[in-house]
Amino acid sequence: MDTFNYTTSPYAVRPDLKQAYSSYWDDLARAGSWWTGAERVAIAQEVRNATACTYCALRKQALSPYHFPGNHDHSGSLSELAIDAVHRIITDQDRITQAWIDSNADGGLSEEQYVELLGVTVTVFSIDEFNRALGLPLEPLPQPLPGAPDQYRPARAVRGTGFVSMLPNKGKFTEREKGLWPKNRSANVLRALSLVPDAVRDWSKVAAAQYLPAELLIQFKPDVGRSINRMQIEIIAGRVSSINECFY
> Is the whole model's pTM more than 0.85, yes or no?
yes
Q: Over the chain, what is the mean pLDDT?
A: 93
Contact 203, 123 (CB under 8 A): yes
CA distance 162 to 16: 32
Which pLDDT score, from 0 to 100, does residue 227 have?
Answer: 87
**245 or 76: which carries more pLDDT confidence?**
76
Q: Is 39 left (phi over 0), alpha (psi -120 to 50) or beta?
A: alpha
In a 10 Å sphere around its CB, with 0-12 CB exposed, 13-18 middle and 19+ buried, how is residue 160 labelled? Answer: exposed
CA distance 12 to 107: 46
Q: Is the pLDDT of residue 175 over 70?
A: yes
Nearest Cα to 177, choosing from 160, 190, 162? 190
Q: 3-state class of 166 per DSSP? A: strand
Which pLDDT score, from 0 to 100, does residue 187 have?
Answer: 80
Contact 231, 221 (CB under 8 A): no
pLDDT grade for 248, boundaries at 50, 70 and 90: low
**206 or 7: which carries more pLDDT confidence?**
206
In a 10 Å sphere around its CB, with 0-12 CB exposed, 13-18 middle and 19+ buried, how is residue 71 labelled? Answer: exposed
CA distance 10 to 35: 37
Neighbours of 137 (CB within 10 A): 9
In Å, how far are 174, 241, 244 from 94, measured between CA atoms? 33, 12, 8
pLDDT in tens, 94-128: 899 999 999 999 999 999 999 999 999 999 999 99
